[in-house]
Amino acid sequence: MYSVYLLLKLVHVVAVVAFLGNISTGLFWKAIADRTGRPEIVAHTLRGIILSDRLITIPSIVVILIGGFGAALVGGWTILGTGWILWSLILFIIAGIAFGPVSRAQRELADLAAGGAPGLVASESYRRLSHRWELWGTVALVAPLLALVLMILKPALVAFHR
């Protein structure tokens, strides 16, 4: 039974690494692309970020949940009765909610950049949309980072009890 717990925990942690790594590198590469001021590079970068969300971020979410819930159940942890698990789950949900505006903004940014207009990156509409993407992207990154801290430190936090 203990080996099943460790396997599920390993799967959970690997998925968390992929999830957080993909989000943070997306923020990094978009910032690099924006600095070029070249719409074709920005469009290419955003298409890559959108693809990596489909191939890495979204599948990682599924694996994080399966591995985390599985490890908790096998390990004897109650999901709603263990504060650090409950609050980590709430933070993960917040990140998921933030992903909606991020996803919409990055598709709109990619469409704008695909138009290839010179000076696009400096335009007010691009900057406003980019700011929205960065804001929600930061929430989508910071919330699961805080959840990671809770998972590692396992502080005594308020939870639901029977």
Q: 46-68 as b/e, with b when 16 or more CB fall inside 10 Å?
A: bebbbebbeebbeebbebbeebb
Cα–Cα distance for residue pair 27/49, rounded to 1 Å:
9
Q: Residue 162: its pLDDT value, please?
A: 62
What is this structure's pTM? 0.92
pLDDT greater than 80 at residue 32: yes
Alpha carbon distances (Å) from 79 to 83, 84, 106, 146: 8, 9, 33, 17
Q: Is residue 50 scored above 70 in pLDDT?
A: yes
Q: What is the pLDDT of residue 2?
A: 85
Domain boundaries, the chain: 2-153
Q: Of 37-41, 119-123, 137-141, give the lowest mean pLDDT range.
A: 119-123
Q: Which two tokens stand for residue 19?
A: 């999830």
